[in-house]
Amino acid sequence: MKGHQRKKLLKQNMKGYLFVSPWILNLAFFTIIPIIVSAFLSFTKYDMVNPPRWIGFMNYYIMFKLDPSFWKALGNTLYYMFGSVFMKVFLALVLAVLLNNVAKGMGMYRTIFFLPVVLPAVPVMFLWMMLFSPNGLINRFLALFGINGPLWLSSVTWSKPALIIMSLWGIGGIIVILLAGLQDVPKSIYEAAQLDGANSVQIFWRITVPMVSPIILFCIVTGLISASQVFTEAYIMTGGGPLESTTFVSLKIYLLAFKQGNMGYASAMAWLMFLLMVPLTILVFRIFRRWSPID
């Protein structure tokens, strides 16, 4: 009887494995194997034409000692990461709080804010390029107040802030996540705070933020990881310029691998970026736990 049950269980498991096999094969061939291969290539000189030649830690030595452009790209990436993520999370939290207090039309407003997330990225970027042009709508709006708008994407100073401003376009996903968390906060807590004389600002910082702090942490961590891989915006809108002011690490990896044919060095740069993101993520968790402990 036990043998029959074991065969039946094995048969059921095989059906399950067959259903998930496409995902397992995709994970193996398009994620795990490329990761292993890139780790090997990071210790080689490989131009995608000749066989890879083992050179040990030379790629990492060049990166740290002989390639100042890497540090510039890393600085650009960190600037964009922290500038965009924290602005997006804070603005999304404020908008989510406002939406949470809307009595009617919640679904309509939620759809309006989420709509930019599902729009095609490239056409949206061309739209923003028009808005950021010297005679674009943004500079025309600033001119109404007597402000001479900058060159934005053509300026070394304003190119990264322009991309950060553009990134705010896609905060709809964060708003929806935070809104779901806000709707789980008991109304009795807000009523008690109002009876104690707390104003709106005190309620926001002392009740709302701590109650949704785990969700804020999730949005910050995932946002930092996503922002560290910023590529399309710089590739389409600026090409890494002007003067490499928007050459992020992901864009530099692409240029090294597919434009210059230096796949080994590009793999080393990708792995170093991964090794930097791991302690950064841990640091964010530790800082967050000191500020707002999570049980």
Pairwise CA distance, residues 156 & 188, whole Å: 51
Say which CATH number the domain at 104 has.
Answer: 1.10.3720.10
- Looking at the fold, whether 160 and 86 belong to one and the same domain comes out as yes
Distance of CA 208 to the CA centre of its chain: 24
Nearest alpha-carbon partner for 174 in 103, 99, 105, 229? 99
The verdict on 11 and 81 lying in the same domain is: no
Q: Is 57 among the domain residues? A: no
What does pLDDT average to over the chain?
89
Is residue 47 one of the residues assigned to a domain? no
CB distance 247 to 76 below 8 Å: yes
137 falls within a domain: yes
User: Does an H or E element contain 41, and which?
Assistant: helix 33-41
Burial of 164 (0-12, 13-18, 19+ CB in 10 A): buried
Average of per-residue pLDDT across 188-203: 86
Phi and psi torsions of 53, nearest 5°: -115, 125
- Same domain, yes or no: 90 and 236: yes
Give the count of beta carbons closer than 10 Å to the beta carbon of residue 163.
Answer: 27
- Return the structure tokens found at 285: 């968790």
Model confidence at 103, in pLDDT bands (50, 70, 90)? Answer: low
The answer to whether residue 206 sits within a structural domain is yes
- Residue 293 scores a pLDDT above 60: no
Do 89 and 227 lie in a common domain? yes
Question: Do residues 10 and 147 both lie within one domain?
Answer: no
Domain span at residue 21 reads 2-41
Say what the pLDDT of residue 54 is: 95
* Number of domain units in the chain: 2
Residue 210 or residue 7, greater confidence: 210
Say whether both 223 and 161 belong to one domain. Answer: yes
pLDDT tens, position by position, 2-15: 666 777 777 778 87
Indicate if 181 and 224 belong to the same structural domain. yes
Q: Is the residue at 196 inside a domain?
A: yes
Are 269 and 180 within one domain? yes
Question: Percent of the chain at pLDDT above 90?
Answer: 55
What's the whole-model pTM score? Answer: 0.87
**Token pair 């290539």: residue:** 41
Residue with tokens 């590009």: 266
Give the model confidence (pLDDT) of 136-186 as tens digits.
999 999 999 999 989 999 999 999 999 999 999 889 889 989 988 888 888
Residue 58 lies in a domain: no
Tokens 């939620």 label which residue? 110
The partner residues of 44 in beta bridges, in order of sequence, read 54
Asked whether residue 122 is assigned to any structural domain, the reply reads yes
Do 238 and 197 sit in the same domain of this protein? yes
Same domain for 14 and 155?
no
One domain for residues 9 and 106: no
Residues 156 and 220 reside in one and the same domain: yes
In a domain, 110, yes or no: yes
In angstroms, the CA 285 to CA 293 distance is 10
